[in-house]
Amino acid sequence: MRKIFLLLVILALVYFARPIWEEPVGEYVDLSFLDTVDSTIENLTADSDVTMALDGAKEFTSRIASQLQSLVRTNTAEMPEAVEKPELSDTDSLFAIHNVTLGMSKEEAQAKVGLPLRLMKNEYGTDWHSYHTNYQNYVLLSYDQNGDVNGMFTNQNIISSTDGITMNSNQEEVRNKLGVPLKSLQKGNIQYILDTREEYDLFKVGNLYVTVFYDIHEESTVTAVQVIHEDLEKERPEIYAAPDDELREGYEFLLFELTNSARIQRELPLLKWDEQAMLTSRKHSEDMAENDYFSHTNKDGESPFDRMADDDINFFVAGENLAYGQYSSIYAHEGLMNSMGHRENIVKPDFGYLGIGAAFNDENQPFYTATFFNR
């Protein structure tokens, strides 16, 4: 009996330690923003293995296995205390986010949203100032040299509009209010065709560039709004920003924040930043950018889980999301959320840690690798 008992224990340990590959979600990678807007760039597709994640251990009826599972799994993710949404006031501006409008001084804005928790360099050459309470009432603001708001973003239900646009508005309603979306964007001598795939619209309204993102899994209702003053847009001379270490770090942390912002809205525990997972992710992004490929499996045949093991990352559940060619982390996140397989990783309750690594190719196009796991 003792031998049988020991055998069951060994089998249980092996079972819970092994990677379990999730079933493929489709024949192709369905990332709406994998295509760049320049017509010289080809579409990217991959076979069904590219959407990979570790699922939680399947039902195991042995009482011993159940006890071992409770010992092995230590979910460190936490649910913060709920915070009330701000009471939105009427606005004379096209859009207000958390009652902040473009042109408002930093002092006025921060009287409404508090002090920033992080500054992240963006594609416009300024910083996104990040405001939130445990990712609730999430707002990004940019300021000009005079300290006035010249850019803002949110993916939460804290917007007001003179046109009555809300997060419950759908794409048709938004277009009826804001008019015909732009089909292209001129940068220098290059006209970039916007291949939006009906997942976002870019509008030019007066001196504002308004990007409205839609959730295709929720009847194309509004999921995020970005408002940029035309003077700030002019500061971006090309569609892709010139990369440096600050921009890479800004992109990495912003995609992390947007992930947690999406989770908190679904009452899911927040993920913790993991530095080693960031380094592992960054190495894979650099490898893809330098060697011109896009795949979860690298040129040496290593899977995400091989790379994690090589870097001594212990895990019982893990997954990886990839994105490429987006203009910023905002576009990358919204595209991932509109791809059901990648969305499942973002909102998977079992994950507790996340590390994101970005890199840029010779054309300044960003590659993102997001490594989710729990130990």
Going 276 to 282 to 285 to 290, the CA torsion angle's sign is negative
pTM: 0.82
Report helix angle 329-337 to 245-265, nearest 10: 40
Identify the pLDDT of residue 87.
Answer: 85
CA-to-CA separations, 123 to 189, 232, 326, 364, in angstroms, rounded: 19, 10, 11, 11
Classify the C-alpha dihedral 299-302-307-312 as positive or negative. Answer: negative
Burial of 114 (0-12, 13-18, 19+ CB in 10 A): middle
Each residue's pLDDT, cut to its tens digit, for the chain (375 residues) gives 555 544 444 444 333 333 332 322 222 233 333 333 222 222 222 332 333 333 332 232 233 333 334 334 445 556 888 888 888 888 889 999 999 999 999 999 999 999 999 999 999 999 999 999 999 999 999 999 999 999 999 999 999 999 999 999 999 999 999 999 999 999 988 999 988 889 999 999 999 999 999 999 999 999 999 999 999 999 999 999 999 999 999 999 999 999 999 999 999 999 999 999 999 999 999 999 999 999 999 999 999 999 999 999 999 999 999 999 999 999 999 999 999 999 999 999 999 999 999 999 999 999 999 999 999
Cα separation of 253 and 257, whole Å? Answer: 6
Say how many residues make up the chain: 375
Calculate ∠ Cα 219-224-226, nearest 5°. 140
Could you count the other beta carbons within 10 Å of the beta carbon of residue 314?
A: 10
**Taking Cα atoms as reference points, which of 219, 129, 228 lies closest to residue 169?**
219
The structure tokens listed for 180 are 């015909």
The DSSP code sequence of 236-260 is: --SSSPPP-HHHHHHHHHHHHHHHH
**What is the distance between the alpha carbons of residues 120 and 15, in angstroms, rounded to a whole number?**
41
Alpha carbons 91 and 321: distance in angstroms, whole number: 38
